[in-house]
Amino acid sequence: MPRTYVPKLKKYTAKDLEEAINPVKQGKLGVREAARQFRIDKSKLSRSLNNKNKSKQGRKQALSVDQEADLTQKITVMAKWGFAVSKEEIKRVVQTYVNENNLKTVFNNGKPGDDWFRTFCKRNGLSQKKMEQLEKCRRTATSDPFIIYSFYDKLGETIKKLGLQDKPSHIFNLDETSFNLDPGRVKGVSAIGQRVHRSIEGSGKENVTTMACISANGDLLPPLIIYQGQNLWSTWKGTQDIENTCYAVSDKGWMTTAVLILGFKSSARWSSKDPFLL
C-alpha cells in the first residue's frame, strides 16, 4: 500500500502564533518547547519573537487598530439608535479627525477615498445597506417601556368604560403609511446583519398616503388613499381597487383631520348606536 504522508505541523493562524509567543515571553517555556507544544515551526516562532517579520505587506493603515475599533463602535451605536451614518459622513469624520490631530496619511487633504472605506468595512465587519426612515416620535415612544405600559393601562380602562369587553367588532386599529419615501438614496453603514434607520424630525410623508383600518375581530374597512393636490382627478382612481375605497386629496398628500373624518364617514359601519373605539 502507498504511504500516507502525515504533516508534522498543523496549519496555524496568527492567534495560534500569539498563544505560542506569550509563554515564551513570560519565561514559562523555551522556544523549542513552545514550538513543539503548539506545533508551530521553530524558525517561524523564533523570527516572530525577534520581530524580524513584524512589518506586513501593503501600505500601513492610516488609523491604528484601536482608532478603527473606536470608530466602528460609534458607527454601530449610531445605527442602533436610529441615526445610521453614510459612507460620505464617515469619510468626513475621519478627515476631521486626521486634520485636527495632524496625522500623517496618504489621504488627499486628510479625507480617505473609497478604497480605504471598503477595506475599513471589511476589517471591522461593517456593511452598507439601504436606509429606512423611522419617525423620531415613533422611535422615542417605542423605546420607553413606561409609555407602552401606560398606553395599555389607559386602553383597558377605556374599553371597560365603553362596555366593549365583548365587542371586538367595535374596537379598531388604524395606521397610515406613505410611498416614495426618500431616505433610500443614501446607504447607511452598520454591523453586518444589522438593520439601519434614519430618524427624521418631520412626518416623513411624500406623494401618496394610504390608511388601513381593521377591527379586533378581523374585519377590514375599505382603504383610504390620499393624493397630493387641490382636486381629485378621476384618472387617479384605480380600475381594480378594493370596493368602496375612499379617495381624497390634501395640499401635501398627508393625512389631515378633515381627510380622516371623510374616510370614516364614507363607511357604513358607523351606523350602529354602540360606541366605537379607535
- Residue 52 pLDDT: 43
Per the prediction, the chain carries an average pLDDT of 78
Does position 245 have pLDDT exceeding 80, yes or no? yes
Q: Domain 1-55: which CATH class?
A: mainly alpha
Q: What does the pLDDT look like over 190-229, one tens digit per residue?
A: 676 666 665 544 444 456 888 888 889 998 888 888 888 8
Residues 132, 133, 137, 139: what is their CA dihedral angle, to the nearest 10 degrees? 10
Q: What average pLDDT does the segment 121-131 reach?
A: 84
Matching residue, cell 492567534: 15
Q: Give the span between the Cα atoms of 172 and 176, in whole angstroms.
A: 14
- Model confidence at 111, pLDDT cuts 50, 70, 90, reads very high
Secondary structure of residue 254 in the 3-state scheme: coil
- Model confidence at 99, pLDDT cuts 50, 70, 90, reads very high
Does position 43 have pLDDT exceeding 70, yes or no? yes
Does position 268 have pLDDT exceeding 90, yes or no? no
- Residue 91 pLDDT: 92
Q: What average pLDDT does the segment 56-66 reach?
A: 72
Does position 134 have pLDDT exceeding 80, yes or no? no
Compute and round to an integer the Cα radius of gyration of the chain.
31
The dihedral built from the CA positions of residue 250, 253, 259 and 265, taken in this order, carries a sign that is positive
**In 201-277, at which residue ranges do the beta strands (DSSP E only) sit?**
209-215, 224-228, 246-250
- Model confidence at 141, pLDDT cuts 50, 70, 90, reads low
- Residue 225 pLDDT: 87
Q: Give the span between the Cα atoms of 189 and 72, in whole angstroms.
A: 10
Report the DSSP beta bridge partners of residue 62. Answer: none
- What does the buried/exposed string (b/e) look like for 202-228 if buried means 16 or more CB atoms within 10 Å of the residue's CB? eebbbeebebebebeeeeebbbbbbbe
Is the pTM higher than 0.85? The answer reads: no
- What is the amino acid identity at position 31? V
The dihedral built from the CA positions of residue 110, 113, 116 and 121, taken in this order, carries a sign that is positive
Report the DSSP beta bridge partners of residue 250. Answer: 228
- State the cell numbers at 214: 381593521
Q: Which of 216, 213, 202 is CA-nearest to residue 260?
A: 213
Domain with CATH 1.10.10 in the chain: 1-55
